Amino acid sequence: MANINISWTTNPADTSDITSYEVYVCDATANGHFTTAAQLQTKLDAIQGGSSAGAQGLELIESITDLTALSTTSPKTLTTGSYHFGIAAKNQAGFKVLNDTSVTALAVA
């Protein structure tokens, strides 16, 4: 089992309406494996509409309120393997996934 350390290279230029960055494991269930920003956006829209993260095959691993952060270390542990992670900006209206670089595969050793 290993803790999760994730980093990214850029943040949105305007964060005035963002309350947090949400980092999800996109392989949390048998229905969770996906690899595109459009797929993540659809699942996050369903959560905003009242669905649970688990029902969408997602598991929230970190909610980041420091909008200048370029990395996070989560206390959540995962078994060794390859997982897809997704990051989205969140505000009162919902979630916004930037592009396909927002969903990436990483190995947990």
Per-residue pLDDT of the chain (109 residues; tens, 9 = 90+): 667 788 888 888 888 999 999 998 887 555 556 778 888 899 999 999 999 998 888 889 899 999 999 888 887 777 777 778 888 999 999 998 877 666 766 656 5
| Structure-block tokens of residue 109 | 């050793």
| Contact predicate 18/97, CB 8 Å | no
Q: Pick from 70, 80, 65, 68: which is nearest to 4 by CA?
A: 80
Backbone phi, then psi, for 58, in 5-degree steps?
A: -115, 155
- A 10 A CB-CB count for 17 gives 11
Q: Reduced to 3 states, what is the DSSP secondary structure of residue 73?
A: strand
Distance separating alpha carbons of residues 91 and 83, to the nearest angstrom: 26
The Cα 84–Cα 106 span in angstroms is: 6
What is the pTM for the complete model shown? 0.83
Query: Which of 84, 75, 63 is CA-nearest to residue 19?
Result: 63
Neighbours of 63 (CB within 10 A): 13
